[in-house]
Amino acid sequence: MKRILVATDGSEGANRAVDYAADLAKQSGVPLLIANVVGGYGLPDEIFREFTRSQAAWLDELLKSNSAGILTKAKDRARERGVAAVEIESVTGDVGETIAQIAEDKDVEAIVVGKRGASGVAALVLGGVAHKLVSLSNRPIIVVP
């Protein structure tokens, strides 16, 4: 194995995915890449177009700060589980597409995500992000319940 990627949003399901990925990285002796994707959190684009420049800057700073906190906690979890090499990455975009692109760019061996409750038919079996990754990525996807 080269590197394992785990996506986190700081939720309980994502924390289980971080733990699983950390254990796998430790057992395999490979680096762990923890990613958080800063997105619109399901809000319609019209809302963002209504923001003033200062409101948009404030929201951007808030989202980046939140992402940094999520990544710091996830990195600490992985270190506590004995992973020596932990990388973190915060990016903006559609969660599924962005995670798939990170996996491609960083040439990861596998992607680990948590199973989450989401809406829609796809979410009846898998969470929305996990379902999207399965269709977008050519990497193995490990979905942690």
Domains, the chain, ordered by start: 4-144 (3.40.50.620)
- pLDDT number for residue 84: 93
Q: Which backbone phi and psi does 99 adopt, to 5 degrees?
A: -65, -45
Structural contact between residues 115 and 129, judged by C-beta atoms closer than 8 angstroms: no
Residues 6 or more apart whose CB falls under 8 angstroms from that of 127 comprise 13, 113, 114, 115, 116, 117, 118, 143
Residue 16, Cα to own-chain centre: how many angstroms?
12
Task: Enter the pTM of the model.
Answer: 0.85
pLDDT, residue 56, reads 79
Given this model, what pLDDT does residue 38 score? 87
Q: In whole angstroms, what is the distance from residue 50 CA to residue 46 CA?
A: 7
Count Cα neighbours of 59 within 13 Å in the Cβ-side half-sphere.
16
Q: Identify whether the C-beta of residue 116 lies closer than 8 Å to the C-beta of residue 17.
A: no
Which parts of the chain have pLDDT scores under 70?
40-45, 48, 117-127
What CA–CA distances, in Å, run from 19 to 29, 46, 62, 69, 141?
15, 37, 26, 17, 15
Helical H segments across 31-145, by residue range: 45-49, 53-80, 95-105, 128-136
Q: What is the pLDDT of residue 125?
A: 42
